Amino acid sequence: MKKITTLSGIVLCTLANAQLQYCMPVFQYGADSNMISNVTFGNINNSSPVQSGNAQMYENFTSMSTDLQPGNNYNISVTGPSSTFPSDVVVFIDFNQNGNFDDAGESFYIGRLEAANPANAFTINNIIVVPATAANGSTRMRVLKNTNVQAYSDPNAPNSISSACDSGLRAGQTEDYTVNIVGNAVNFPAPYCGAENVTSLTVSEISKVEFAGTIKNSAIDGNSDVLENFTGTVFTVNRGNTYPITVTGGTHGQNTVSAYTYIDFNHNNQFDADERFNLGYLDNSNPVPAPESGITSGSITIPAGAQLGETRFRLVKAYESDSWMGTLENLPCPSGWFIGQAEDYTINIQPESLSTMEVSKDASAHVKIYPNPTADSVTIRMKEGLEKYEIYNMSGQKMLEGNSMTVSMNHFVPGTYLIKILTKNQKTVTEKIIKK
């Protein structure tokens, strides 16, 4: 009886979601020569018609879907012509499945497509950040494109799309898709590689890691796993800063036991060649009583372009050699004959620390942003000339850039943003802006 009740609940929930009625935007002039010609997002790669006279203002592609995991970032690209005026593109996802796109964190300004005919249509790229609180299950994704008349003469014109159901749009198209929020119920270390390619194994343990104000001790008794799951331990760091790191562990008396860290800065679920840090060889100083052990120290600099938020941090300690046994090396995904251990942590990358910005106090003192907080726009007042400004949200997405002293934030959702100002004499100032 309990199984039947559970199944009925699932069926009812599915039917309720299927019956959600999403409102529709309204265009004044239709979609001809201003349509969306391709959307690429996860497993979705959809090219749609661009014939003049046949373009519909709304296209239902909800039969196409892709899986998303809460807390992850995904690349998206949108292609489309824009006959005379540039076009804005905004993506909306109903993450809480309440039948609308009005909640915070459910809209993403992808960018602006320059004027072009269908044969020469431009493509814009950006990132969709899936919130950790996204509800599991299937939900609606909307891609909305609209021509922006003001942007024809003003590159800094605000976004022309105010909502997913904007009734004042000029010309463009709406496409709806389905995304499946699949949760985080995947086995560690997925989506990253593990020790599946190790053919011969000797576990040589890491006993202590000291990094970013956190110390993590672990067993060195020969009974540990080759890859340990410490992702519940979070290292919080700031972009652009450098942090010392010290690793202690067993050496078995060898002089070529190396320690490397691998950090997925671009959140692509793998450890690329430019995401590794060589911390050197453990020194055989026997800091751990009884076992032959050593210690090594190095430093890790968080790149200015690292994506914000939580990502995977992997520490690998491995015996390196090149002999009759073959080549043993330190790799982010251990393989072959491996003598060592790997530990996975979580690193939480925050924006540049405003107290340690790369700007002199003198430059900062001559820049004023007002009013702040603001309901619509802010004005930049500065002694040096303005080269340009860039505005980022707290996830590291660039939302806007320009070179005017007045910055319109009408199309921004309420929240905290960072404005980075480049002066004519090449100094950089970063400040917070609060949009009410």
Q: What six digits make up the tokens of 124? A: 């814009």
pLDDT of amino acid 188: 85
Task: Tell me the whole-structure pTM to 2 decimals.
Answer: 0.47
Say how far apart CA 172 and CA 327 lie, in whole Å.
58
**Nearest Cα to 347, choosing from 300, 281, 284, 293?**
300
Backbone phi, psi, residue 372, to 5°: -150, 105
Tell me the torsion sign for CA atoms 241, 244, 250, 256: positive
pLDDT of amino acid 268: 87
Say how far apart CA 292 and CA 398 lie, in whole Å.
50
Q: Assign 3-class secondary structure to the chain.
A: CHHHHHHHHHHHHHHHHHCCCCCCCCECCCCCCCCCCEEEECCEEEECCCCCCCCCCEEEEEEEEEEECCCCEEEEEEEECECCCCEEEEEEECCCCCCCCCCCCCEEEEEEECCECHHHCEEEEEEEECCCCCCCEEEEEEEEEEECCHHHCCCCCCCCCCCCCCCCECCEEEEEEEEEECCCCCCCCCCCCCCCEEEEEEECCEEEEEECCEEEECCCCCCCCCEEEEEEEEEEEECCCEEEEEEEEECCCCCCEEEEEEECCCCCCCCCHHHEEEEEECCCCCCCCCCCEEEEEEEEECCCCCCCEEEEEEEEEEECEEECCEEECCCCCCEEEEEEEEEEEEEEEECCCHHHCCCCHHHHHCEEEECCCECCEEEEEECCCEEEEEEEECCCCEEEEECCCEEECCCCCCEEEEEEEEECCCCEEEEEEEEC
Alpha-carbon distance values, 248 to 215, 223, 284 (Å) = 11, 17, 10
Say how far apart CA 253 and CA 326 lie, in whole Å.
20
pLDDT of amino acid 299: 93
pLDDT of amino acid 7: 28
| CB contact at 8 A, 204 and 317 | yes
pLDDT of amino acid 105: 87
* Domains, in order of start, for the chain: 27-181 (2.60.40.10), 206-350 (2.60.40.10), 367-435 (2.60.40.1930)
Say how far apart CA 148 and CA 112 lie, in whole Å.
9
Query: One digit per residue, pLDDT tens: the chain, 436 residues?
Result: 222 222 233 333 333 344 457 999 999 998 988 999 999 999 999 999 887 777 899 999 999 999 998 888 899 999 999 989 999 999 999 998 888 998 888 999 999 999 999 888 999 999 999 887 788 889 999 999 999 999 999 989 999 999 999 999 999 999 999 999 987 555 789 889 999 999 999 999 999 999 998 999 998 888 899 999 998 899 999 998 899 999 999 999 999 999 999 999 998 889 999 999 999 999 999 999 889 999 999 999 999 889 988 999 999 999 999 877 678 999 999 999 999 999 999 999 998 764 333 333 444 457 889 998 888 899 999 887 888 888 877 656 678 888 999 999 888 888 878 888 888 887 778 888 888 8
